[in-house]
Amino acid sequence: MAYSILLAPPAERQLKALAEPAQKRIVKRLKSLRENPRPHGVKKLAGEEDLYRIREGDYRIVYTIQDKKLIVLVVKIGDRKEVYR
């Protein structure tokens, strides 16, 4: 059961704005979500319905999981200081 990874338009822009080494690490991390959308270290965001976050260095990836459709929708990608605003 492999999940599809979809990026919301703002998340796609945020990813493209990052430096190339960071982009590669984040893309690799996103691909790992295909097999396991709730990996070790995932946190459910308090106060938000169905939003999860994973860490990749100083960056955070915020996403939702649609289990019935097997989709992981990435909502935000950004520096840990700014991603929760």
Q: Coil, strand or helix: which one is 48?
A: coil
Dump pLDDT digits (tens) for 13-53. 999 999 999 999 999 999 999 999 999 999 999 887 889 99
Q: Coil, strand or helix: which one is 47?
A: coil
Q: Which domains does the chain have, with CATH numbers?
A: 4-79 (3.30.2310.20)
The one-letter code for the residue type at 10 is P
Q: Give the tokens for residue 49.
A: 């319905």
Report the predicted TM-score, pTM, of the whole model to 2 decimal places: 0.91
% of the chain exceeding 70 in pLDDT:
100
Write b or e for each residue in 59-71: b if 16 or more Cβ atoms lie within 10 A of its Cβ, otherwise e.
Answer: bbbbbbbeeeeee
DSSP code, position 1: -
